[in-house]
Amino acid sequence: MTEDARMSTAGPTVARPPMRRLSRARRLRALVAVTVCAALSTLSLAVTMSEMAEAQQLPSPESLKGQSIAVPGGSVRPPAGAVNLPDTTSNAVRRPGQGEGASFPSAPSDTVLGHESVTEGLWDRIRHGQAGESVLTGGERGVLIQSAGEAWRLLRNDQVVRYGGQMLLAVIAAIALFFLVRGRIRIDNGRSGRVIPRFSLAQRIAHWFAAVLFVLLAISGLVILFGKSLLMPVLGPQGFALVASAAMQGHNLFGPLFLPAVLAILVLFIKGNAPRLVDLSWLAKGGGLFGGHASSYKYNAGQKIWFVLTIVLGLAISVSGIVLLFPDTLADRSQAQLANLAHGIAAVIFIAVGIGHAYIGSIGMEGAFEAMAQGTVDENWAREHHDLWYAEHSGEATTDRKRAEVSAAAAGDGIMQGARP
Amino acid sequence: MTVEPGTITPDNRPVDVGAAVTKMEALLGGHIAAYLDACVHCGQCAQACHFHEATKDPRLTPALKLQPMTRVYRRSKAPFSGLRKALGLAPEVTEQDLRAWEPLIFDTCTMCARCTIVCPMAIDIASVVAATRQAFVAAGLGPPDLLEAAENARTRGSPLGLTEAKLADRVEWLADEHETEIPLDKPVAEVLLTVSSIEMMKYPDSVVAMAKLLNAGGVDWTLSSKGYEATNFGVLSGKADIAKLMVERIASAAESVGARIVVVPECGHAYGVLRWTGGNLLGRELPFEVMHITEFLAALKRQGKLRFTPYTDQAVTYHDPCQISRRGGATADARYLLDGFATDFREMTPTGNYNWCCGGGGGVQAMGRAADVRHEVFRIKMAQVEATGAPALVSACANCRLTMDESSAALGWDKELLSIVEMLADHIEGAPNPAE
Amino acid sequence: MSVIEFIEGPLWSFALAVFVLGIAWRIFSLLAMKRPRDLSVAREGAGGVGGATKALVIHSIPHGGNLGRTIYHFVTGYMFHIGLFVLVLFAAPHVAFIQERLIGADIGWPEMPRWAFIVAAEAAFAGLILLYVHRLTDPVKKQLTDIDDHLGVWLTFIVMLTGCLALQEAHAGLRAFHMLTVEALMIYFPFSRLMHAFTFAFARARTGATYGRRGFTP
């Protein structure tokens, strides 16, 4: 075969104008900005992850011994009038469940005045896990105060709120900075006027169904997580009580729908999301965010990571959330506390990455949004961002947008079937 | 919102928008308003429409065909229309709108009523399209060839130019050629047979077949030169005066021979129009019973007046003409005739009242500019037939037959298309079999 | 008069009046329009009344082999509609409201257990979102959609949302907010395609009556 013949079998190729290059200064600025952003995000992510790891091992009641009085925040206080004396005997603390004849000491009438009596140190002992008689049966029988709850409360209200908040702010700041420096990522060669079908109707419906729920759940969830610190000072206790009640009811109602949404995403988007060698070079080139070209098939490495995160975090959030809706199904309180922490931490990470996804899918990149709106993308966009996918589908590029949209709706980037009886 | 200009380039005739609006206002009664009020824009009708399913063109969505009437209704006849108009929420119909809608109303609607089946509101879009066609024609729109066919019917008695003289001529020739008695203008007869000019001009064997069957059944029948044309292009083209004229001709012919029954030949819309709207067009109840030829033959078979030798040549499947089955209600009789006659009869899927249209009903067959889309639509029928494995397709409508013959030729399809009347006529028990 | 009192008092009465009178006017206008008499002779053993009745019933479910083609609308449509009806009519707070404000007496109107109307709410939300997302993306539906479709969906969604936000039944403010959105929906209702809740019956009956006489109700 001659050289010419080989050329001709390659099919019609559109002459490719030289890529517009970002100016050197601009590239440098982008590089710095992105490095800073990435560092910030990684840092907050790392901190959050370590908190999550810590959350996996809630302190045992014994490790809390002697701290109980000195906790910051101090909302768990002995009830007014309770007797609080230094812990004298380590034997006073009994693990819950041991129940070796332990019973709630009967309270003589003089206890309230703090006179010496059998109730001496009672609050402290119970606070440290002394068992007693309770109406509960099963795993938590005999537990009067589940002290791990305090550790959970602190982790959630201090660490998760603080680092989670910082992480979200960092991500928003990073995106804002990136936008200021790099601006909207344009289609370098401009729009070609020809479009290629990309996402099917089923894929887009699953995406937007999940997206609507994501937004509703994120807003209500953020109110629940951060409301006490951010909204209560503004709205006052009564106003916040109203907003918190609304957020909690809405969150609980929409929550269970997120699981089928995530499963639909899993089923409809798994094809094409398996890791490939080219993903490494895409990552090495930073996805072309600072200029340059990074090759990819239908989904680039960033999208694949987002896909995995969506499934993993989505399932974690769904399962922990559903468990929290039905706490009676859990063995004991500590499981609910773990579920709550996992739920909150996974959610904050999900929201943080989700903001990035929403940004790059809309204002961050020219030509990206229409993939999920009309289901089609501009030919030049495909060539610049998904060249290997484009190579497989260049033959489907057409100026007939309506036709491409219909084809995409019916078959995604596949072949639309004809008339059927 | 409006649709973009359709697949067919509109011509440049002057358009009288006011006439269209006036006509729509006049026709817009409670029966149409009930439909316009109920549409929720769910779009499921597209899934049932052969034009949409064959082309996947979203512009060919049946519900869009309600737009002209809806626009007029919301602007001038609907409750709160004054309020809507005052708020600027009821835009006027423009010439551009009418031109954009024209292909929807004419070229890509066979008025088959499949969309009505899937519609959760049961909206009979076909009847709204029929009324809308009248308004478009009043405005000076509509496919020229369809309108010409209607004018032919008015001036020459038949859309294909089958004049009284030509009828007499052809009847004589056919009777001679086939040695069959074909009575024309008998002074008195119990049954008046009508013909479709498509048959007379393109499938004359079909006319002979009807004559043979009626003669064999001992029927007292005649054709009449006062009213012989069964097709009604007045209805198809939206020309109400021609529609009425065609019915009047048949009614006066039937009355002059004292016919108790008028038999409509293998033609879908001829049956639907005469049987179900004939009285309404005439303004009085028809003084005779209207029967499709399959209904009439089924009655003869039931009474034992006609018996057939089995048809064993090949496996056959049956195509339901929309106006006879779904919109006519005579679905069962064709099957009764085929039952025990065609020894290897296979129903296609879907069939009967839910069958797909051939693509040429509602006058679309007569629109030259709709030929390409019609051929695309025929692929659905091809797939249906091929799924049965039968090498032959039988029907009871000359218009379906012509449509399918043309599309078969255009697409190079090799299946045989048969007429149920011709099949039966070739297998009358006691008559010499022409094949022998 | 506080804002909450206004929303739950005079504004409610006004919205109810617009709702009821508006619907009555729409239906009256429809019935008052002339309709041609059908002079054709019905097929033996077939009739308009039977056809109308049949059409009213069978158009509630896909028939004629079209289930596969319309399965998306069938499933999501019913999720939404059944969910909404159950919520509106049988959710405990609604039952109390219906008995106190609309009927004025405890007539033993049945009420669903809480879990059941939570399930109904889930179904209704999922159905509505799925239908709306389909409306925004499906090429056929996009063309048909007008501003009325958007408004109807948004108002319904907001009503359902505010209702679910008030689920704790602990804050008069949330309840009043829900009432306010309901009132907006009720005032919009007679002027909109939401009227299909009533007009569906007229369309179905019309087709059933016309075709029933012919021997087949499509």
Average pLDDT, consecutive stretches of 10 residues, N- to C-terminus, chain B (436 residues): 41 86 96 96 96 94 97 93 90 94 96 97 97 96 95 94 93 95 96 94 95 96 96 96 97 97 96 96 95 97 95 96 96 96 96 96 95 96 96 96 96 95 94 52
pLDDT for position A56: 45
Flag whether pLDDT at A38 surpasses 80. no
Q: Under CATH, which architecture does the B17-142 domain have?
A: Orthogonal Bundle (1.10)
Q: Do A409 and C129 touch (CB under 8 A)?
A: no
Q: Which residues of A touch C164 (CB under 8 A)?
A: 249-250, 253-254
Partner chains of C (3+ C-beta pairs under 8 Å): A, B
Q: Whole-angstrom Cα distance, residue A361 to residue A383? A: 17
Query: Which residue of chain C is at minimal alpha-carbon distance from B52?
Result: C140
Question: What's the total number of domains in chain A?
Answer: 1
Confirm if C207 and B123 have CB atoms less than 8 A apart. Answer: yes
Nearest CA in chain C to A202: C134
Contacts of B57 in chain A (CB under 8 A): 402, 406
Range of the domain at C192: 146-209
> Across the interface, do C193 and B41 touch by the CB < 8 Å criterion?
yes
- Does the beta carbon of A375 lie under 8 angstroms from any beta carbon of chain C? yes
Q: Is C43 in Cβ contact with B44 (below 8 Å)?
A: no
CB atoms inside a 10 Å sphere around CB C105: 8
B320 in contact with A at a CB cutoff of 8 Å?
no
A95 falls within a domain: no
Cβ pair B56:A420 closer than 8 A: no
Enumerate the residues of chain A whose CB falls inside 8 A of the CB of residue C125. Answer: 253-254, 257
Domain assignment of residue C19, yes or no: no
CB A188 within 8 A of CB A388: no
pLDDT score, position A142 = 78
Give the pLDDT score at A159: 86
pLDDT at position C143 = 94
Of A402, A410, A420, the CB nearest to B383: A420
Residue A402 resides in a domain? yes
Number of folded domains that form chain C: 2
Q: Residue B379: which of A402, A407, A418 has the nearest Cβ?
A: A418
Which residues lie closer than 8 Å to A263 by C-beta, 6 or more apart? none
Mark which residues 239-278 of A lie under 8 Å from C by CB. 241-242, 245-250, 252-254, 256-257, 260
Report the half-sphere exposure of C23 (CA within 13 A, side-chain side): 16
Q: Are the Cβ atoms of C46 and B329 closer than 8 angstroms? A: yes
Of A2-6, A197-201, C169-173, which gets the smallest average pLDDT? A2-6
A421 vs B377: CB contact, 8 Å cut-off?
Answer: no
Residue A137 identity (one-letter amino acid): T
Nearest to C137 among A204, A213, A241 (CB): A204
Q: Do C29 and B79 touch (CB under 8 A)?
A: yes
Chain B residue numbers with beta carbons less than 8 Å from the beta carbon of A418 are 54, 379
Going by C-alpha positions, the residue among A370, A201, C198 that lies closest to residue B43 is A201
pLDDT at site A23: 52
The answer to the question of residue A251 being in a domain is yes
A204 found inside a domain: yes
Contact: C203, B282; criterion CB under 8 Å: no
Q: Cβ(C101)–Cβ(C133) under 8 Å?
A: no
Interface with A, mutate which of B3, B53, B56, B357 (most A CBs under 10 A): B56
Average pLDDT over residues C93-98: 93
- Give the minimum alpha-carbon distance from B388 to chain A in angstroms, rounded to a whole number: 12
In this prediction, residue A13 has a pLDDT band, given cuts at 50, 70 and 90, of very low
| Main-chain phi, psi angles of A103, to 5 degrees | -145, 155
Secondary structure of chain B: what % helix, strand, coil (to 5)? 55, 10, 40
pLDDT at residue number A80? 52
Give whole-number Cα distances, A245 to A212, A227, A251, B44, B331, in Å. 21, 11, 10, 40, 62
C175 domain-assigned: yes
Contacts across the B-C interface (CB distance below 8 Å): 182
Q: Best of C140, C147, C148 to disrupt the B interface by mutation (most B CBs within 10 Å)?
A: C140
Which residues of chain B form CATH 1.10.1060? Answer: 17-142
- Whether B48 sits inside 8 A of C36 (CB atoms) is no
CB C22 within 8 A of CB B79: no
Placement of tokens 């109307």 in the chain: C117
For the cut 90, the answer to whether the pLDDT of residue A167 exceeds it is yes
CB contact under 8 A, B37 and C60: no
Contacts of B105 (CB under 8 A, 6+ apart): B65, B68, B129, B132, B133, B136
Q: Is residue C57 part of a domain?
A: no
- C120 and C150 both lie in a single domain: no
Tokens encoding A135: 């109406």
Enumerate the CATH 3.40.50 domain ranges in chain B, comma separated: 146-302, 316-425
For residue A393, the domain's CATH number is: 1.20.950.20
- CB B349 to CB A418 under 8 A? no
- Residue entry with tokens 């060919």: B60
Nearest CA in chain A to B54: A419
- In terms of DSSP H, where are the helices of C61-195? 71-90, 92-97, 114-137, 139-144, 147-165, 172-188
Quick one: residue B122, left, alpha or beta (phi over 0 = left, psi -120 to 50 = alpha)?
Answer: left
pLDDT at A333: 83
A74 three-state secondary structure: coil
- Binning pLDDT at 50, 70 and 90, where does residue A119 land? low
56-95 in chain B: CB under 8 A from chain A: 56-59
* pTM as predicted: 0.87
Binary contact (B384, A406; C-beta < 8 A)? no
Question: Would C100 be classed as within a structural domain?
Answer: yes
Q: Which residues of A fall within a CB distance of 8 Å from B377?
A: 419
Q: Which of A416, A380, B126 is nearest to C139 (CA)?
A: A416
Average pLDDT in the C87-111 region? Answer: 91
Distance, CA of B22 to CA of B24 (rounded, Å): 5
pLDDT digits (tens, 9 = 90+) for A261-295: 999 999 999 999 999 999 999 999 988 887 778 99
Taking any CB pair shorter than 8 Å as contact, residues of chain A touching chain B are: 402, 406-407, 410, 416, 418-421
Which of B119, B280, B354 has the CB atom closest to C39's CB atom?
B280
pLDDT, tens only, A60-107: 444 444 444 333 333 444 555 544 444 444 444 444 444 444 444 444
Tokens for C146, please give them: 């007008």
- Inform me whether the pLDDT recorded for A193 exceeds 60: yes
Asked if the C-beta of B383 comes within 8 angstroms of chain A's C-beta atoms, the answer is yes
Q: Does A379 map to a domain?
A: yes
Question: Could you tell me which chain C residue has the CA closest to the CA of A407?
Answer: C139
Whether residue C171 is contained in a domain is answered as yes
Chains that touch B (3 or more CB pairs under 8 A): A, C
Which residues of chain C approach chain A closer than 8 Å at the C-beta? 118, 121-122, 125-126, 129-130, 133-134, 136-139, 161, 164-168, 170-171, 173-174
> If pLDDT is split at 50, 70 and 90, which confidence band does A41 have?
low
CB < 8 Å to A421, chain B: 348-350, 356, 380-381, 383-384, 387
How many Å lie between the alpha carbon of B7 and the closest alpha carbon of chain A? 13
Chain A residues within 8 A of B348 when measuring between CB atoms: 421
Pick from C41, C60, C145: CB nearest B285 = C41
Rounded to a whole number of angstroms, the distance from the CA of A194 to the nearest CA of chain B is 19
Question: How many angstroms away from the CA of C71 is the closest CA of chain B?
Answer: 10
Instruction: Report CB contact under 8 Å: A419, B53.
Output: yes
DSSP 8-state class, residue A7 = H
Burial, C46: exposed, middle or buried (Cβ in 10 Å; 0-12, 13-18, 19+)? Answer: middle
Residue of C26, C40, C207 with shortest CB distance to B275: C40
Q: Which one of 3.80.10, 3.30.70, 3.40.50, 1.25.40 gives the CATH number of domain B316-425? A: 3.40.50
Residue C86 lies in a domain: yes
> Is there a contact between A205 and C129 if contact means CB atoms under 8 Å apart?
no
Q: Which residues from C are below 8 Å from A256, CB to CB?
A: 122
Phi, psi angle pair for B358, to nearest 5°:
-75, -20
Fold of B146-302: Rossmann fold (3.40.50)
pLDDT recorded at residue B432: 58
